Protein backbone atom coordinates (compact mmCIF):
# COMPACT_ATOMS: atom_id res chain seq x y z
CA UNK A 1 0.00 0.00 0.00
CA UNK A 2 1.32 3.46 -0.90
CA UNK A 3 2.56 5.47 2.06
CA UNK A 4 3.12 8.78 0.24
CA UNK A 5 1.39 11.69 1.96
CA UNK A 6 0.43 9.71 5.04
CA UNK A 7 1.26 10.90 8.54
CA UNK A 8 3.20 8.67 11.00
CA UNK A 9 0.03 7.29 12.59
CA UNK A 10 -1.44 6.17 9.29
CA UNK A 11 1.84 4.62 8.20
CA UNK A 12 2.28 2.68 11.43
CA UNK A 13 -1.31 1.44 11.45
CA UNK A 14 -1.01 0.21 7.85
CA UNK A 15 1.95 -1.95 8.84
CA UNK A 16 0.15 -3.68 11.72
CA UNK A 17 -1.52 -7.08 11.17
CA UNK A 18 -5.19 -6.40 10.51
CA UNK A 19 -6.36 -9.37 12.55
CA UNK A 20 -4.37 -8.32 15.59
CA UNK A 21 -5.77 -4.79 15.37
CA UNK A 22 -9.35 -6.03 15.09
CA UNK A 23 -8.86 -8.43 17.99
CA UNK A 24 -7.45 -5.63 20.13
CA UNK A 25 -10.33 -3.29 19.24
CA UNK A 26 -13.03 -5.82 20.08
CA UNK A 27 -11.32 -6.75 23.35
CA UNK A 28 -11.28 -3.21 24.76
CA UNK A 29 -14.35 -1.94 26.62
CA UNK A 30 -13.52 1.70 26.01
CA UNK A 31 -13.23 3.48 22.67
CA UNK A 32 -10.40 2.63 20.29
CA UNK A 33 -9.70 5.51 17.92
CA UNK A 34 -7.87 5.28 14.60
CA UNK A 35 -6.59 8.02 12.26
CA UNK A 36 -9.63 7.74 9.98
CA UNK A 37 -12.09 8.32 12.84
CA UNK A 38 -13.71 11.76 13.05
CA UNK A 39 -12.65 12.26 16.67
CA UNK A 40 -8.99 11.43 15.98
CA UNK A 41 -7.88 15.04 15.42
CA UNK A 42 -9.43 16.13 18.70
CA UNK A 43 -8.17 13.19 20.71
CA UNK A 44 -4.55 13.45 19.55
CA UNK A 45 -4.31 17.02 20.83
CA UNK A 46 -2.75 17.70 24.23
CA UNK A 47 -2.56 20.81 26.40
CA UNK A 48 0.68 22.17 24.91
CA UNK A 49 -0.11 23.57 21.46
CA UNK A 50 3.53 23.01 20.41
CA UNK A 51 2.98 19.24 20.39
CA UNK A 52 1.81 17.90 17.03
CA UNK A 53 2.09 14.11 17.02
CA UNK A 54 0.20 11.38 15.19
CA UNK A 55 -0.36 8.09 17.02
CA UNK A 56 -1.50 4.98 15.19
CA UNK A 57 -4.08 4.08 17.85
CA UNK A 58 -5.62 5.88 20.81
CA UNK A 59 -7.15 3.54 23.40
CA UNK A 60 -9.53 5.37 25.73
CA UNK A 61 -9.40 2.89 28.59
CA UNK A 62 -12.53 2.25 30.65
CA UNK A 63 -10.65 0.34 33.34
CA UNK A 64 -7.52 -1.53 34.32
CA UNK A 65 -8.33 -4.49 32.06
CA UNK A 66 -8.27 -2.15 29.05
CA UNK A 67 -4.88 -0.83 30.17
CA UNK A 68 -3.54 -4.38 30.38
CA UNK A 69 -4.80 -5.07 26.85
CA UNK A 70 -3.24 -1.87 25.50
CA UNK A 71 0.13 -2.43 27.15
CA UNK A 72 0.19 -6.04 25.95
CA UNK A 73 -0.70 -5.06 22.39
CA UNK A 74 1.97 -2.34 22.26
CA UNK A 75 4.60 -4.75 23.58
CA UNK A 76 3.66 -7.58 21.22
CA UNK A 77 3.52 -5.30 18.16
CA UNK A 78 6.67 -3.39 19.14
CA UNK A 79 4.81 -0.07 19.11
CA UNK A 80 5.94 3.12 20.83
CA UNK A 81 3.71 3.71 23.84
CA UNK A 82 2.54 6.91 25.51
CA UNK A 83 0.32 7.29 28.56
CA UNK A 84 -2.17 10.12 28.77
CA UNK A 85 -3.70 11.19 32.06
CA UNK A 86 -4.32 14.94 32.14
CA UNK A 87 -2.12 15.57 29.09
CA UNK A 88 -0.43 18.52 30.85
CA UNK A 89 3.22 17.46 30.75
CA UNK A 90 4.90 20.32 28.91
CA UNK A 91 7.09 17.93 26.89
CA UNK A 92 4.03 16.26 25.40
CA UNK A 93 4.78 12.79 26.75
CA UNK A 94 1.06 11.94 26.59
CA UNK A 95 1.16 11.35 22.83
CA UNK A 96 3.61 9.75 20.40
CA UNK A 97 4.16 9.48 16.65
CA UNK A 98 3.21 6.13 15.12
CA UNK A 99 2.49 4.44 18.44
CA UNK A 100 -0.29 3.61 20.86
CA UNK A 101 -1.68 6.12 23.36
CA UNK A 102 -3.03 4.59 26.56
CA UNK A 103 -5.59 7.26 27.41
CA UNK A 104 -6.65 7.08 31.06
CA UNK A 105 -8.84 10.19 30.95
CA UNK A 106 -12.11 8.19 31.19
CA UNK A 107 -10.81 6.71 34.49
CA UNK A 108 -11.54 9.76 36.66
CA UNK A 109 -13.29 8.18 39.62
CA UNK A 110 -12.59 9.60 43.11
CA UNK A 111 -13.73 7.82 46.27
CA UNK A 112 -13.21 9.44 49.68
CA UNK A 113 -12.94 7.40 52.88
CA UNK A 114 -13.41 10.30 55.28
CA UNK A 115 -13.24 8.15 58.41
CA UNK A 116 -9.76 6.89 57.55
CA UNK A 117 -8.87 10.14 55.79
CA UNK A 118 -7.83 8.54 52.51
CA UNK A 119 -8.94 8.94 48.93
CA UNK A 120 -8.77 6.49 46.03
CA UNK A 121 -8.17 8.27 42.73
CA UNK A 122 -8.41 6.90 39.19
CA UNK A 123 -5.39 7.24 36.91
CA UNK A 124 -7.13 9.77 34.65
CA UNK A 125 -8.38 12.14 37.34
CA UNK A 126 -7.42 15.79 37.51
CA UNK A 127 -6.58 17.82 40.59
CA UNK A 128 -9.99 19.46 40.32
CA UNK A 129 -11.72 16.07 40.37
CA UNK A 130 -9.99 15.23 43.65
CA UNK A 131 -10.51 18.60 45.34
CA UNK A 132 -14.19 18.62 44.42
CA UNK A 133 -14.80 15.36 46.29
CA UNK A 134 -12.42 15.75 49.24
CA UNK A 135 -13.54 19.29 50.05
CA UNK A 136 -17.02 17.98 50.80
CA UNK A 137 -15.42 16.73 54.03
CA UNK A 138 -13.00 19.63 54.58
CA UNK A 139 -10.13 17.40 53.47
CA UNK A 140 -7.38 17.64 50.86
CA UNK A 141 -4.21 15.91 49.82
CA UNK A 142 -1.04 17.71 48.72
CA UNK A 143 -1.34 18.25 44.98
CA UNK A 144 -0.41 21.00 42.52
CA UNK A 145 -1.76 24.49 41.89
CA UNK A 146 -3.67 24.19 38.57
CA UNK A 147 -6.87 22.18 38.83
CA UNK A 148 -6.83 20.85 35.25
CA UNK A 149 -3.48 19.10 35.78
CA UNK A 150 -3.58 15.31 35.80
CA UNK A 151 -3.00 13.71 39.19
CA UNK A 152 -0.88 10.90 37.73
CA UNK A 153 1.80 12.87 35.93
CA UNK A 154 2.08 15.40 38.74
CA UNK A 155 2.43 12.72 41.41
CA UNK A 156 4.78 10.34 39.61
CA UNK A 157 7.28 13.19 39.07
CA UNK A 158 7.01 14.52 42.64
CA UNK A 159 4.27 17.13 42.85
CA UNK A 160 4.73 20.58 44.38
CA UNK A 161 1.80 22.79 45.39
CA UNK A 162 0.33 25.04 48.05
CA UNK A 163 0.48 22.33 50.74
CA UNK A 164 4.00 21.00 50.07
CA UNK A 165 5.84 22.62 52.97
CA UNK A 166 3.27 21.26 55.41
CA UNK A 167 2.46 17.84 53.96
CA UNK A 168 5.25 17.11 51.48
CA UNK A 169 5.18 16.27 47.80
CA UNK A 170 2.08 14.73 46.25
CA UNK A 171 3.92 11.41 46.06
CA UNK A 172 4.83 11.63 49.76
CA UNK A 173 1.12 11.34 50.51
CA UNK A 174 0.70 8.06 48.63
CA UNK A 175 -0.28 5.00 50.63
CA UNK A 176 -0.53 2.62 47.69
CA UNK A 177 -0.80 2.40 43.91
CA UNK A 178 -2.01 -0.13 41.35
CA UNK A 179 0.46 -0.46 38.46
CA UNK A 180 0.27 -2.25 35.11
CA UNK A 181 3.83 -3.21 34.20
CA UNK A 182 5.31 -3.99 30.78
CA UNK A 183 4.49 -7.71 31.04
CA UNK A 184 0.79 -6.91 31.39
CA UNK A 185 0.69 -7.82 35.07
CA UNK A 186 -1.16 -5.73 37.68
CA UNK A 187 0.74 -5.02 40.89
CA UNK A 188 -0.35 -3.30 44.07
CA UNK A 189 2.59 -1.47 45.58
CA UNK A 190 2.90 0.14 48.99
CA UNK A 191 5.34 0.52 51.86
CA UNK A 192 4.99 -3.17 52.70
CA UNK A 193 4.12 -4.73 49.33
CA UNK A 194 6.30 -4.65 46.22
CA UNK A 195 8.43 -2.13 48.07
CA UNK A 196 10.98 -1.55 45.32
CA UNK A 197 8.25 -0.84 42.79
CA UNK A 198 6.66 1.61 45.26
CA UNK A 199 10.06 3.23 45.79
CA UNK A 200 10.56 3.72 42.05
CA UNK A 201 7.03 4.85 41.21
CA UNK A 202 7.44 7.76 43.62
CA UNK A 203 9.53 10.09 41.53
CA UNK A 204 10.26 7.78 38.59
CA UNK A 205 7.89 9.69 36.34
CA UNK A 206 6.00 6.72 34.89
CA UNK A 207 9.07 4.85 33.67
CA UNK A 208 8.03 1.64 35.46
CA UNK A 209 4.45 1.21 34.27
CA UNK A 210 0.95 2.65 34.05
CA UNK A 211 -0.51 3.62 37.42
CA UNK A 212 -4.25 3.07 37.19
CA UNK A 213 -5.16 3.92 40.79
CA UNK A 214 -3.68 6.04 43.57
CA UNK A 215 -4.48 5.93 47.27
CA UNK A 216 -3.61 9.20 49.03
CA UNK A 217 -3.59 10.30 52.64
CA UNK A 218 -5.89 13.25 53.37
CA UNK A 219 -5.49 16.22 55.71
CA UNK A 220 -7.85 18.76 57.22
CA UNK A 221 -7.71 21.71 54.83
CA UNK A 222 -10.43 24.24 54.02
CA UNK A 223 -13.10 24.55 52.93
CA UNK A 224 -11.84 28.15 53.30
CA UNK A 225 -8.25 29.37 53.40
CA UNK A 226 -6.55 32.77 53.41
CA UNK A 227 -5.04 33.58 50.03
CA UNK A 228 -2.11 35.99 49.65
CA UNK A 229 -1.76 37.51 46.17
CA UNK A 230 0.19 40.76 45.86
CA UNK A 231 1.90 42.44 42.88
CA UNK A 232 4.78 44.91 43.14
CA UNK A 233 6.67 47.14 40.69
CA UNK A 234 9.84 45.55 39.35
CA UNK A 235 11.77 48.61 40.57
CA UNK A 236 11.12 47.31 44.08
CA UNK A 237 12.31 43.79 43.30
CA UNK A 238 15.48 43.95 45.41
CA UNK A 239 13.53 44.98 48.51
CA UNK A 240 10.70 42.53 47.86
CA UNK A 241 13.05 39.60 47.34
CA UNK A 242 15.18 40.49 50.36
CA UNK A 243 12.09 40.54 52.57
CA UNK A 244 10.83 37.29 51.06
CA UNK A 245 14.12 35.50 51.76
CA UNK A 246 14.05 36.76 55.35
CA UNK A 247 10.51 35.45 55.65
CA UNK A 248 11.47 31.98 54.40
CA UNK A 249 13.99 31.59 57.25
CA UNK A 250 11.24 30.84 59.78
CA UNK A 251 7.99 30.80 57.84
CA UNK A 252 5.34 28.55 59.42
CA UNK A 253 4.70 25.31 57.60
CA UNK A 254 1.00 26.14 57.43
CA UNK A 255 1.82 28.99 55.05
CA UNK A 256 3.47 28.96 51.65
CA UNK A 257 4.39 31.55 49.04
CA UNK A 258 5.48 31.32 45.40
CA UNK A 259 7.33 34.36 44.03
CA UNK A 260 7.27 35.05 40.31
CA UNK A 261 8.21 37.78 37.89
CA UNK A 262 5.75 38.58 35.13
CA UNK A 263 4.08 41.35 33.17
CA UNK A 264 1.00 42.94 34.70
CA UNK A 265 -2.07 41.55 32.90
CA UNK A 266 -4.47 43.88 31.16
CA UNK A 267 -7.28 43.20 33.63
CA UNK A 268 -9.55 45.51 35.57
CA UNK A 269 -8.18 44.19 38.86
CA UNK A 270 -4.97 46.09 38.08
CA UNK A 271 -4.49 49.85 37.52
CA UNK A 272 -4.51 50.56 33.80
CA UNK A 273 -1.30 52.57 33.96
CA UNK A 274 0.53 49.41 35.12
CA UNK A 275 -0.75 47.12 32.38
CA UNK A 276 1.99 45.15 30.59
CA UNK A 277 4.80 46.51 32.76
CA UNK A 278 7.26 44.04 34.37
CA UNK A 279 6.40 43.15 37.96
CA UNK A 280 7.19 40.82 40.81
CA UNK A 281 4.31 39.00 42.48
CA UNK A 282 3.66 36.65 45.38
CA UNK A 283 0.98 33.97 45.53
CA UNK A 284 0.42 31.95 48.66
CA UNK A 285 -1.91 30.74 51.35
CA UNK A 286 -2.18 30.46 55.12
CA UNK A 287 -4.25 27.76 56.76
CA UNK A 288 -5.37 26.45 60.11
CA UNK A 289 -5.16 28.78 63.10
CA UNK A 290 -2.73 31.21 61.51
CA UNK A 291 -3.65 34.88 61.34
CA UNK A 292 -2.95 35.64 57.70
CA UNK A 293 -2.48 39.38 58.26
CA UNK A 294 0.27 38.72 60.78
CA UNK A 295 1.93 35.99 58.73
CA UNK A 296 2.08 37.95 55.49
CA UNK A 297 2.54 41.50 56.80
CA UNK A 298 6.35 41.41 56.39
CA UNK A 299 5.86 40.54 52.72
CA UNK A 300 3.00 42.93 52.06
CA UNK A 301 4.92 45.86 53.57
CA UNK A 302 8.14 45.21 51.63
CA UNK A 303 7.06 47.84 49.06
CA UNK A 304 3.99 49.68 47.78
CA UNK A 305 1.85 47.14 45.91
CA UNK A 306 0.50 47.58 42.40
CA UNK A 307 -2.45 45.45 43.48
CA UNK A 308 -3.38 43.36 46.50
CA UNK A 309 -5.85 40.62 45.65
CA UNK A 310 -5.53 38.77 48.97
CA UNK A 311 -8.39 37.53 51.11
CA UNK A 312 -10.33 34.51 52.29
CA UNK A 313 -11.46 32.11 49.57
CA UNK A 314 -12.57 28.53 49.13
CA UNK A 315 -9.62 26.17 48.89
CA UNK A 316 -11.04 24.72 45.66
CA UNK A 317 -11.12 28.25 44.20
CA UNK A 318 -7.49 28.79 45.19
CA UNK A 319 -6.59 25.56 43.42
CA UNK A 320 -8.30 26.70 40.20
CA UNK A 321 -7.50 30.43 40.17
CA UNK A 322 -4.55 29.95 37.78
CA UNK A 323 -6.41 27.71 35.31
CA UNK A 324 -7.30 30.53 32.94
CA UNK A 325 -3.60 31.44 32.63
CA UNK A 326 -2.82 28.02 31.13
CA UNK A 327 -5.49 27.27 28.50
CA UNK A 328 -5.42 24.27 26.19
CA UNK A 329 -3.66 25.03 22.93
CA UNK A 330 -1.36 27.81 24.14
CA UNK A 331 2.29 27.10 23.40
CA UNK A 332 4.49 26.20 26.39
CA UNK A 333 8.13 25.53 27.21
CA UNK A 334 8.90 25.18 30.94
CA UNK A 335 12.29 24.31 32.37
CA UNK A 336 13.60 24.25 35.93
CA UNK A 337 16.62 23.93 38.17
CA UNK A 338 16.98 23.53 41.93
CA UNK A 339 18.78 26.04 44.16
CA UNK A 340 20.55 25.70 47.49
CA UNK A 341 20.31 29.48 47.94
CA UNK A 342 18.83 32.53 46.24
CA UNK A 343 21.76 34.81 45.54
CA UNK A 344 21.84 38.30 44.07
CA UNK A 345 22.75 36.64 40.75
CA UNK A 346 19.54 34.59 40.81
CA UNK A 347 17.44 37.70 41.47
CA UNK A 348 19.23 39.56 38.70
CA UNK A 349 18.57 36.73 36.23
CA UNK A 350 14.87 36.74 37.13
CA UNK A 351 14.58 40.49 36.59
CA UNK A 352 16.63 40.65 33.40
CA UNK A 353 14.93 37.75 31.68
CA UNK A 354 11.50 39.11 32.54
CA UNK A 355 12.44 42.39 30.86
CA UNK A 356 13.65 40.53 27.74
CA UNK A 357 10.86 37.93 27.50
CA UNK A 358 9.54 37.58 23.92
CA UNK A 359 6.05 37.01 25.34
CA UNK A 360 4.34 39.01 28.09
CA UNK A 361 2.55 35.78 29.08
CA UNK A 362 5.81 34.23 30.31
CA UNK A 363 6.96 34.16 33.93
CA UNK A 364 10.02 33.27 35.99
CA UNK A 365 9.01 31.41 39.14
CA UNK A 366 10.81 30.89 42.43
CA UNK A 367 9.37 28.06 44.50
CA UNK A 368 10.03 27.93 48.24
CA UNK A 369 10.39 24.24 49.16
CA UNK A 370 11.93 22.48 52.16
CA UNK A 371 10.26 21.61 55.49
CA UNK A 372 7.99 18.54 55.03
CA UNK A 373 9.54 17.86 51.61
CA UNK A 374 13.03 17.83 53.13
CA UNK A 375 11.96 15.74 56.14
CA UNK A 376 11.92 12.62 53.95
CA UNK A 377 15.38 11.10 53.36
CA UNK A 378 16.69 11.54 49.81
CA UNK A 379 16.98 7.79 49.27
CA UNK A 380 13.49 6.98 50.59
CA UNK A 381 11.98 7.42 47.12
CA UNK A 382 13.32 7.83 43.58
CA UNK A 383 12.88 11.60 43.89
CA UNK A 384 16.31 13.00 44.76
CA UNK A 385 16.29 16.81 45.01
CA UNK A 386 14.08 17.16 48.06
CA UNK A 387 16.96 18.65 50.06
CA UNK A 388 16.97 21.82 47.93
CA UNK A 389 15.07 24.73 49.54
CA UNK A 390 14.23 26.51 46.28
CA UNK A 391 13.45 25.81 42.63
CA UNK A 392 13.75 28.25 39.73
CA UNK A 393 11.40 27.68 36.81
CA UNK A 394 11.22 29.49 33.49
CA UNK A 395 7.69 29.39 32.04
CA UNK A 396 7.69 30.40 28.39
CA UNK A 397 4.03 30.83 27.39
CA UNK A 398 3.07 32.27 23.99
CA UNK A 399 0.46 32.12 21.24
CA UNK A 400 2.02 32.21 17.77
CA UNK A 401 3.84 29.27 16.17
CA UNK A 402 6.14 31.75 14.44
CA UNK A 403 7.50 32.71 17.86
CA UNK A 404 8.43 29.16 18.90
CA UNK A 405 12.20 29.49 18.46
CA UNK A 406 12.48 32.79 20.31
CA UNK A 407 10.46 31.63 23.30
CA UNK A 408 12.13 28.23 23.61
CA UNK A 409 15.54 29.91 23.40
CA UNK A 410 14.50 32.35 26.12
CA UNK A 411 13.63 29.52 28.50
CA UNK A 412 16.67 27.40 27.68
CA UNK A 413 19.08 30.31 27.90
CA UNK A 414 17.69 31.43 31.24
CA UNK A 415 18.07 28.02 32.85
CA UNK A 416 21.49 27.52 31.23
CA UNK A 417 22.68 30.79 32.75
CA UNK A 418 21.31 29.83 36.16
CA UNK A 419 22.94 26.39 35.87
CA UNK A 420 26.36 28.05 35.81
CA UNK A 421 25.82 29.34 39.36
CA UNK A 422 27.33 27.37 42.24
CA UNK A 423 23.93 27.25 44.00
CA UNK A 424 22.13 25.49 41.11
CA UNK A 425 21.80 21.82 40.14
CA UNK A 426 19.41 19.12 38.98
CA UNK A 427 16.07 19.27 37.19
CA UNK A 428 12.40 18.55 37.91
CA UNK A 429 10.35 16.05 35.91
CA UNK A 430 7.20 18.17 35.75
CA UNK A 431 9.06 21.16 34.26
CA UNK A 432 11.38 19.26 31.91
CA UNK A 433 11.73 21.44 28.82
CA UNK A 434 11.42 18.89 26.04
CA UNK A 435 13.23 16.18 28.02
CA UNK A 436 16.46 17.14 26.28
CA UNK A 437 18.60 16.78 29.41
CA UNK A 438 20.10 13.53 30.80
CA UNK A 439 17.76 11.66 33.15
CA UNK A 440 20.46 11.54 35.82
CA UNK A 441 19.96 15.27 36.42
CA UNK A 442 16.55 14.38 37.85
CA UNK A 443 17.50 11.32 39.86
CA UNK A 444 20.94 12.17 41.25
CA UNK A 445 22.38 9.42 43.43
CA UNK A 446 19.13 7.45 43.12
CA UNK A 447 19.75 6.89 39.41
CA UNK A 448 21.53 3.52 39.64
CA UNK A 449 18.95 2.06 41.99
CA UNK A 450 16.15 3.21 39.68
CA UNK A 451 17.93 1.50 36.79
CA UNK A 452 17.88 -1.76 38.73
CA UNK A 453 14.15 -1.44 39.46
CA UNK A 454 13.61 -0.61 35.80
CA UNK A 455 15.45 -3.75 34.73
CA UNK A 456 13.04 -5.80 36.82
CA UNK A 457 9.75 -4.28 35.71
CA UNK A 458 10.51 -2.93 32.23
CA UNK A 459 13.63 -4.63 30.85
CA UNK A 460 12.76 -3.79 27.23
CA UNK A 461 12.16 -0.11 28.05
CA UNK A 462 8.55 -0.03 26.84
CA UNK A 463 7.86 2.98 29.05
CA UNK A 464 10.99 4.91 28.11
CA UNK A 465 12.62 7.69 30.17
CA UNK A 466 15.63 5.67 31.33
CA UNK A 467 17.40 2.59 30.00
CA UNK A 468 17.28 -0.58 32.16
CA UNK A 469 20.57 -2.08 33.21
CA UNK A 470 19.72 -5.78 32.95
CA UNK A 471 16.84 -8.15 32.30
CA UNK A 472 15.08 -9.73 35.28
CA UNK A 473 11.53 -10.84 35.91
CA UNK A 474 9.10 -9.01 38.16
CA UNK A 475 7.47 -10.52 41.20
CA UNK A 476 3.73 -10.03 41.52
Domains, the chain, in order of start with CATH, read 8-103 (3.30.43.10), 110-220+445-457 (3.30.465.10), 224-425 (3.40.462.20)
pLDDT at 3: 73
Q: What residues have CB less than 8 Å from 261, skipping those under 6 apart?
A: 234, 237, 278, 279, 280, 281, 350, 351, 353, 354, 363, 364
Contact 155, 174 (CB under 8 A): yes
**Residue 78 exposure: Cα atoms within 13 Å on the Cβ side:** 3
Rounded to whole angstroms, how far apart are CA atoms 27 and 253? 50
Beta pairing partners, 102: 59, 83
CA distance 395 to 424: 17
Report the pLDDT value the prediction gives residue 2, as an integer from 0 to 100: 60
Tens-digit pLDDT profile for the chain (476 aa)? 467 789 999 999 999 999 999 999 999 999 999 999 999 999 999 999 999 999 999 999 999 999 999 999 999 999 999 999 999 999 999 999 999 999 999 999 999 999 999 999 999 999 999 999 999 999 999 999 999 999 999 999 999 999 999 999 999 999 999 999 999 999 999 999 999 999 999 999 999 999 999 999 999 999 999 999 999 999 999 999 999 999 999 999 999 999 999 999 999 999 999 999 999 999 999 998 899 999 999 999 999 999 999 999 999 999 999 999 999 999 999 999 999 999 999 999 999 999 999 999 999 999 999 999 999 999 999 999 999 999 999 999 999 999 999 999 999 999 999 999 999 999 999 999 999 999 999 999 999 999 999 999 999 999 987 866 543 333 33
> Per-residue b/e over 159-175, b at no fewer than 16 CB within 10 Å?
bbbbbbbbbbbbbbbbe
- Rounded Cα distance between 40 and 282, Å, is 41
3-state secondary structure of 197: helix
Nearest to 17, CA basis, from 67, 57, 64, 54: 57
- Give strand pairing partners of 214: 121, 177
Residue 309 CA to its chain's centroid (Å): 26
Q: Which residues pair with 339 in a beta bridge?
A: 390, 424
DSSP characters over 74-141: HHHTT--EEEESS---TT-TT--TTSEEEE-TT---EEEETTTTEEEEETT-BHHHHHHHHGGGTEE-
Angle between helix 237-248 and 292-300 (nearest 10): 140
Angle subtended at Cα 110 by Cα 108 and Cα 113, rounded to the nearest 5 degrees: 165
Strands 186-190 and 311-314: unpaired
Is pTM beyond 0.75 here?
yes
Q: Are 332 and 90 in contact (CB under 8 A)?
A: yes
Strands, E, within 157-209: which ranges? Answer: 174-180, 186-190
Amino acid sequence: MAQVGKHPGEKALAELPGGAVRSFETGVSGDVIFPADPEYERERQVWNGMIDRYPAIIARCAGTADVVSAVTFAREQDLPLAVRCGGHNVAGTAVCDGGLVVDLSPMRGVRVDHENQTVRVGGGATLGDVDRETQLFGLATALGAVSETGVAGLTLNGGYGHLSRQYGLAMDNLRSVDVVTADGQVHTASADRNEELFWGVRGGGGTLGVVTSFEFELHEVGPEVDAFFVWFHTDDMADVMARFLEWTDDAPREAGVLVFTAHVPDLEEFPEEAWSEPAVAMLGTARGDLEADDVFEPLRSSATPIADLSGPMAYADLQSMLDEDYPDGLRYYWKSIFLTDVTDEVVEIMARYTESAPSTLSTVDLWHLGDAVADVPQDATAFWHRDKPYMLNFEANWEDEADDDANVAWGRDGIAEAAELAVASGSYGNFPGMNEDPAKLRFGDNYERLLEVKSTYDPENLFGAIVPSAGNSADS
